[in-house]
Structure 1
Amino acid sequence: MSESKAVILGASGTTLTADEIAFYRDERPWGFIVFARNVADARQLRDLTAAMRDCVGRPDAPVFIDQEGGRVQRLRPPLAPDYPPGSALGALYRADRDAGLRAAWLMSRLHAFDLLRYGVNADCLPVLDVPVEGAHDVIGNRAYGKDPEIVTAMGRAAMAGLEAGGVLPVIKHIPGHGRAFADSHHNLPVVDAPLDELRGHDFAPFKALNHAPMAMTAHVVYTAIDPDAPATTSPKAIEDIIRGEIGFDGLLMSDDVSMNALSGDFAARTDAILAAGCDVVLHCNGRMDEMSVVAGRVPVLSGKAAERAESALHGLRRRDDAKEDATRAEFAAMFEAVA
């Protein structure tokens, strides 16, 4: 772990270029992330994730993906079935609480079956954001619902399903993206809600699941916490709210450093993320010019961050004895679209 740098990096295509291989070997990122652009077929994806790990010499190096279901699902048929969005699971919960919880667990357990066969062992799920009426659709039907209690219960079940399958879950977007009226991929959302309102609504699922091994920050300004910086680059948001009030002590990764919600060049963004208290910086798009700057600014994982990283990876060693066919059949009976 001491050899790994505090960064998660993407790749440009379906195979690693010679420049990427040399770069990863030199910079030793702690983890990697894959997107649809990195996926062609089953053998190719297995080869890609194996090549990523070979570059850093760590067979347990985490390879992340956004595999939620609905519109945010990087693996599609035939590599993985199309799954329903979080809102469909939430609707089932509202009709039948036990069925909803079971469906959330089953779908995450199926994600684990799907992902591990291609060498992907970390999923940026569950989404614990709680949207409000009129909020931007960047979260929308990705959320389990607009009730913090439903989001908490379903998020807990989804997280447990991933962990049962030996896949590392990442709760997002802490301390809450559901109230944002802009898409942080393109603009900086500003939330003016008072702190008491945020506590009772936005923070609640994260506080209930503060034992999660990893969390991803929100590129959102909360004026009641810090009017000058989004949570990702705000020491107040991270120290006082995420670590303090919410009580999250797992590995904290930034959302993508290349998103337009952040300001400044990549060196400034990376420095601000680390200075605010994030443990690991995420860079997604695979552009070498950007990755070089980010990797040049991040330190080797050490101290508390290294302990958190090691603890997160420990969960990958546990797996239940669930049978894929039976799990898939049970879920399909609830959602015929994925039969």
Structure 2
Amino acid sequence: MIGRMLLVGFPNENINENSEIVRQIKSYELGGVILFDRFYSDRNKTKNISSPKQLQELTSKLKSFSTKPLLISVDQEGGKVARLKPAYGFSVTPSAKQISTLHVKEAKAIYNAQAQMLKESGINCDFAPVVDLAVNPKNIVIYGLERSYGSDSKEVVKYAKIFMDSLDSESIFSVLKHFPGHGSSLSDSHKGFVDISDTWSEIELEPYIELIKSNDVSMIMTAHVFNSQLDSKYPATLSYKVNTELLREKLGYKGIIISDDLQMNAISEHYSLEERVTLAINSGVDILLFGNQLAIQDIDELVEVILAQIKNGAISQKRVSDSNKRIEELHKKRKKL
């Protein structure tokens, strides 16, 4: 049950029955994996993606080694955030900002083609679309990288919905990000603490409110942003007030909450592994993401730490059961399509 709540990165472009990730998938019935094209510390070194054929073989093997449905995920937004790059033989997808200038029909055609490419590659979960609002021109991680559809939440919802529908048509889960809004931030949570208390406004919740109402949202990624307007103590990823009281209870969201990478410096510099997993799970997070890009996390140790916290009562068994039920529902929903 702990394993089902983990989505992890691993360092191979080819695997076999002796690979460490295969042992972990079998031992813990891991919930999923995340694939990257390059290592974070060495951009010249291939990690998991080098060509369409290689990626098909890798994803096919990953599925074959798993007895339970496995999320095979990737960050494929388009533009600068794309793991399936033209340089490796994949087709190009424009950034969200570029898409927002196009007619709806053109946007649909582009996103349909991308969804087809992901499906052919064996990917069944895309960490996209970004529904952060482009409200701060000084924002380097969203605005600067053209990852937002704009500052108007109606426009953001319109194009995000096209993206989600395209993925859905190929039985790929979409993941809205980054709740409760990263668009007003001034810094990058990969690198350190991000405080949006003075820049964030409730308008940043609008895309989530609209999309949740439409009943199409299966997964939402929570952000490593600190916002004293919502929680005076914890960043969103670790906040019960944000993930349970706001997202689940106030906004009525019933799907999966996945953390942003729990190895990002915004979190790892301030909280121990034990604190990170305990606070995240207790806050209402269903799937913990460890990308193994910014650091290397031993998965056996991770499982043991969570197990110890359950045994000593710091994490309730009910929380783990609730998340497992949601994960099961997610895959059942996909089977029905």
| TM-score, normalising length: structure 1 | 0.83
Matches within 5 A, 1:72-221: 72-77=81-86, 78-92=88-102, 99=103, 101-140=104-143, 141-193=146-198, 198-199=201-202, 201-210=203-212, 211=215, 212-221=217-226
* Alignment RMSD: 2.3
2: CA distance, partners of 1:215 / 1:240 = 15
2: CA distance, partners of 1:275 / 1:4 = 16
Contact 2:274 2:306 survives alignment (8 Å)? no
Contact 1:174 1:216 survives alignment (8 Å)? yes
Alpha-carbon shift at residue 193 of structure 1 (Å): 4.0
Partner of 1:335: none
2: CA distance, partners of 1:298 / 1:114 = 36
Alpha-carbon shift at residue 72 of structure 1 (Å): 0.3
Partner of 1:293: 301
Q: Do the aligned partners of residues 243 and 118 (structure 1) sit closer, same or farther apart at CA in structure 2, a change above 3 Å counting?
A: same
Structure 2: 5+ residue stretches without partners: 38-46, 308-316
1: CA distance, partners of 2:336 / 2:79 = 27
Contact 1:166 1:315 survives alignment (8 Å)? no
Which structure would you say has the larger RCO, counting Cα contacts within 8 Å and 6 or more residues apart?
A: 1
Partner of 2:328: 310
Structure 1: 5+ residue stretches without partners: 93-98, 320-339
Alpha-carbon shift at residue 27 of structure 1 (Å): 2.0
2: CA distance, partners of 1:124 / 1:176 = 15
Partner of 1:61: 70
The question of 1:268 aligning with 2:275 is answered yes
2: CA distance, partners of 1:3 / 1:135 = 39
Partner of 2:41: none
Amino acid at match of 2:245: D
Partner of 2:54: 44
2: CA distance, partners of 1:43 / 1:264 = 40
Partner of 2:286: 279
Amino acid at match of 1:284: G
1: CA distance, partners of 2:166 / 2:19 = 37
Alpha-carbon shift at residue 66 of structure 1 (Å): 0.6
Q: SS of the counterpart of 2:260? A: strand
Amino acid at match of 1:71: K
Contact 2:263 2:291 survives alignment (8 Å)? yes
Encode CA deviations 1:230-263: one digit per residue, 9 max, x unaligned.
1000111112211122222111100001101102
Amino acid at match of 2:327: A
1: CA distance, partners of 2:138 / 2:274 = 31
Question: Which of 252, 256, 259 is matched with 1:254 structurally?
Answer: 259
Which has the higher mean CA deviation after the structures are superposed, 171-180 or 281-290?
A: 281-290
Amino acid at match of 2:252: G
- Identity of aligned pairs, percent? 26
Alpha-carbon shift at residue 270 of structure 1 (Å): 1.4
Partner of 1:21: 22
Contact 2:2 2:303 survives alignment (8 Å)? no
Encode CA deviations 1:122-154: one digit per residue, 9 max, x unaligned.
111111101223442211211001111111111
Alpha-carbon shift at residue 115 of structure 1 (Å): 1.0
Alpha-carbon shift at residue 302 of structure 1 (Å): 5.2
Amino acid at match of 1:170: V
Which has the higher mean CA deviation after the structures are superposed, 284-293 or 223-232?
A: 284-293
Alpha-carbon shift at residue 313 of structure 1 (Å): 2.3
1: CA distance, partners of 2:263 / 2:301 = 12
2: CA distance, partners of 1:288 / 1:154 = 35
Contact 2:237 2:243 survives alignment (8 Å)? yes
2: CA distance, partners of 1:298 / 1:7 = 11
Matches within 5 A, 1:211-250: 211=215, 212-250=217-255
Contact 1:79 1:114 survives alignment (8 Å)? no
| TM-score, normalising length: structure 2 | 0.84
